[in-house]
Amino acid sequence: MKRAVFGFVFLASSIFCFTQDYVQPVPDYKPTAQNIDERNKFQNNKFGLFIHWGIYSVLADGEWVMRIKNIPYNNYKRLADFFNPQQFNAKEWVQLAKNAGMKYITITSRHHDGFSMFNTAATSYDIVDATPYKKDPLMELAQECAKEGIGLHFYYSLLDWGRADYGFGKPIVNHEPANTDWNGYINFMKAQLTELITKYPNVTGIWFDGHWERTNVNWHYDEIYSLIHQLNPKILVGNNHHLAPFNGEDFQMFEKDLPGENTTGFSGQSKVGALPLETCETINNSWGFNINDNHYKSVKQIIHYLINAAGRNANFLLNVGPMPNGKIQREFTDTLGKVGDWMRKYGETIYDTRGNIVAPQSWGVVTQKGNVLYIHVLNGLKQPYIFIPEIKWKISKASVFGGSAEVKFKQQPEGVFVYLDNIILDNIDTIIQLQ
Ligand code: H79
């Protein structure tokens, strides 16, 4: 009940905030050739592993536990004493992602609780200085990703529930929280982002979150985005602000919704823009480790999410919340292994493809690569054929992906009919290849 009321107040206040948007985009941002190249690689990657891991994991109740349980910051900070992930193994995490067919990892470097999961000189509230672990797991992960050819994005929270200079809960006056050292906070973020970008090998993106908590402050995006691109022009900047992209950003993300949909209420203002797209979703119902959350998504649900995202030209970033000991629970690793089995067989119809060729249909979606269209039949059919509208190319051949048998089809000016009466539909995805 308390949770529901909290959720309602949060949503109500965020809707209120949307009415006073204040944005400082980068004037005339022109991405470099390297950046454009990185955007293409990012789009080709299609599938990534999202990791929410922090001292909140110790309480095993999600990454919002401090707020939900009303734990005062000074009490919450004591969690750092118990965070000692002796079983963390970067190799295992990277292999897990690789075996699932994922091409990049996005990990929380600092979440809303303000705790830095990396070695930073900008605060002592970080994993090296404040925990008995004393090591930097993000450096190990970055080195392993670089070695294994896996991309690495750092999630970075703009919102901070604890720092005095953030002034959480303070009224906003003239686009700054009243009576705080707001410039000090902006400089703190710049210092940390500089560390993340210059010290860690092969970082390919920064994933901002928390903007929605204060849509009416001056976040100094003009300075922050420019700093990132100056330090490393290829880094892709994305911001989970749930709005149309701001100038200076390189990709657009959606939270728990496919682009163009708004089932969660976060994406109401989120117009789909022209940048590369990514949608993130949880493997159960939680981002951070939650010991009570058994709502595991099925292998089929996850594969469908991935295909549905690809059909809408978006990457899929699938989240797991590792345990405080550094292990990822068996339910998650089992599912990821099975998704990987599917990707080894059918990944060719997903990687390097583009979507939005044809609008999503009741039967499924279409991906495209070169002169091939992959028709993903995801849902049961009422008739023994499908109709694909909006096909401008001349189709010369239709076949079941991976097989040699040709499939009957008929092309008309309004679209293509593909006849599936002689085909046994796959329980997950029947893929028809059109040439
Ligand atoms: O990092 C993950 C979330 O912590 C963050 N974005 C993703 C990627 C996020 N922060 N806020 N929100 C998402 C939306 C807020 C949802 C809330 Fe609630 C509803 C906050 C309080 C009520 C969900 C349910 C979180 C706590 C209870």
- Which atom of ligand 1 is closest in space to residue 155's alpha carbon? 1
pLDDT at residue 427, rounded to an integer: 97
- Split at pLDDT 50, 70, 90, the class of 15 is very low
Q: What are the tens digits of pLDDT across the range 151-174? A: 999 999 999 999 999 999 999 999
Asked whether residue 408 carries a pLDDT value surpassing 80, the answer given is yes
Cβ of 287 less than 6 Å from ligand 1: yes
Which residues 6+ apart lie within 8 Å of 267 measured at CB?
Answer: 242, 254, 255, 257, 261
Q: Which two tokens stand for residue 410?
A: 């008929």
Specify the 3-state DSSP secondary structure of 201: coil
- Split at pLDDT 50, 70, 90, the class of 18 is very low
- Which atom of ligand 1 is closest in space to residue 209's alpha carbon? 6
Q: Which two tokens stand for residue 120?
A: 């930073």
Asked whether residue 4 carries a pLDDT value surpassing 60, the answer given is no
Question: Which residue, by CA, sits nearest to atom 25 of ligand 1?
Answer: 64
Question: What is the rounded CA–CA span in Å between residue 133 and residue 83?
Answer: 7
Cβ of 213 less than 6 Å from ligand 1: no
| Residue 399: CB atoms within 10 Å | 16
Cβ of 6 less than 6 Å from ligand 1: yes
Strands 47-51 and 104-110: parallel
Of the listed ranges 15-24, 274-283, 358-367, the least confidently predicted one is 15-24
Cβ of 10 less than 6 Å from ligand 1: yes
- Split at pLDDT 50, 70, 90, the class of 392 is confident
Specify the 3-state DSSP secondary structure of 223: helix
Q: What mean pLDDT comes out for the span 307-332? A: 98
Cβ of 351 less than 6 Å from ligand 1: no
Question: What is the rounded CA–CA span in Å between residue 141 and residue 387?
Answer: 46
- Which atom of ligand 1 is closest in space to residue 7's alpha carbon? 22
Specify the 3-state DSSP secondary structure of 430: strand
Question: What is the rounded CA–CA span in Å between residue 153 and residue 103?
Answer: 11
Asked whether residue 6 carries a pLDDT value surpassing 90, the answer given is no
Q: What are the tens digits of pLDDT across the range 253-274? A: 999 999 999 998 888 888 898 9
Residue for token pair 């210059």 = 198
Can you count the helices (H) and strands (E) in the chain? 11, 17
Strands 398-400 and 364-369: unpaired
Asked whether residue 2 carries a pLDDT value surpassing 80, the answer given is no
- Split at pLDDT 50, 70, 90, the class of 20 is low
Q: What are the tens digits of pLDDT across the range 123-150? A: 999 999 999 999 999 999 999 999 999 9
Question: Which residue, by CA, sits nearest to atom 17 of ligand 1?
Answer: 7
Q: How far is the CA of 266 from the centre of ligand 1 (A)?
A: 10
Q: What mean pLDDT comes out for the span 314-332? A: 99
Cβ of 159 less than 6 Å from ligand 1: no
Cβ of 156 less than 6 Å from ligand 1: no
Q: What mean pLDDT comes out for the span 2-26? A: 55
Residue 372's H or E segment, with its range, is strand 372-377
Cβ of 168 less than 6 Å from ligand 1: no
Cβ of 64 less than 6 Å from ligand 1: yes
Q: What are the tens digits of pLDDT across the range 181-205? A: 999 999 999 999 999 999 999 999 9
What is the chain's mean pLDDT, rounded? 94
Question: What is the rounded CA–CA span in Å between residue 412 and residue 417?
Answer: 8
Write the CA distances from 42 to 105, 144, 146, integer angstroms: 11, 19, 15
- Split at pLDDT 50, 70, 90, the class of 12 is very low
Which value, to the nearest 10 degrees, does the dihedral of the CA atoms of residues 135, 136, 140, 141 take? 140
